[in-house]
Amino acid sequence: MDGGLESVKRISEHTRAEFENGDISEDEMIDSAIAYSWSSFAFTRNFTFQSEIEQQLANGTLREVKGNLIPVPLFLPNETVFPEGYCNIASPVLAQRIHKANVLEGITPTLIRGGYGEYERAYSLYCKYQHTFVMLGRTSLSDKTIVDITADQFDFQAPSVYIGPLQNPWTDDPRFEDIDTGYGL
């Protein structure tokens, strides 16, 4: 593993440990989601639902941060334990940390909506689990390197930190799209 990937590994292991210990701040999770325009976490106002939004802001189930609406709380207490259900939150934090560390010489981490588990081709594609992970830059299909710190939520035999090629059981299944970064990092 070259020096850049060794640094990515250290950042990934550290980030995972902080999530496991509950040491990640809510502010960092929110900032990362906003920086990556992560719509399943931080979203902008939709005027069709303006009255609902205003009601949720008033009753405290939403808050507005930098023009984005954030659910309150981010997680229901005792509902999930890392890594279960955290891929949507951990991946933007990890991507932003890798980007800020500038260890990959111009390669920008990208969030990927994909899948984990076998998929079949028929009229449509089927992934066993929808999943979010980080891809290191946009490279050719045979060259994609991914970083995943939450795959073990689906498979206890999965490594706690995976850095390697995009291969089975991971997929960037065409039903899911790359998530463009806001590059406001």
Range with top average pLDDT, 14-18, 136-140, 179-183: 14-18
Q: What is the DSSP letter of 43?
A: B
Asked if residue 180 has pLDDT above 70, the reply is no
The arithmetic mean of pLDDT across residues 101-107, rounded, is 86
Which parts of 42-124 are beta strand (E)? 62-65, 68-71, 109-121
The arithmetic mean of pLDDT across residues 105-124, rounded, is 71
How many domains, in total, are found in the chain? 1
- In this prediction, residue 13 has a pLDDT band, given cuts at 50, 70 and 90, of very high
Asked if residue 37 has pLDDT above 60, the reply is yes
Domain of 95? 3-21+82-179
pLDDT at 78: 58
pLDDT higher at 18 or 137: 18
pTM score of the predicted model:
0.78
Note whether residue 61 is domain-resident. Answer: no
Note whether residue 54 is domain-resident. Answer: no
Using alpha carbons only, give the angle 126, 113, 136 rounded to the nearest 5 degrees.
130
For the segment 129-178, what is each residue's pLDDT rounded down to a tens digit? Answer: 778 899 987 655 456 789 999 999 988 889 999 999 888 888 775 554 44
Asked if residue 112 has pLDDT above 50, the reply is yes
Note whether residue 107 is domain-resident. Answer: yes
Note whether residue 170 is domain-resident. Answer: yes
pLDDT at 139: 56
For the segment 52-85, what is each residue's pLDDT rounded down to a tens digit? Answer: 888 888 998 888 888 778 887 776 555 668 898 8
Note whether residue 141 is domain-resident. Answer: yes
List Cβ neighbours of 178 (8 Å cut-off, separation of 6 or more).
110, 111, 112, 113, 135, 138, 172
Note whether residue 100 is domain-resident. Answer: yes
The answer to whether 110 and 138 are in contact (CB under 8 A) is: yes
Q: Which two tokens stand for residue 101?
A: 């560390």
Note whether residue 30 is domain-resident. Answer: no
Note whether residue 103 is domain-resident. Answer: yes
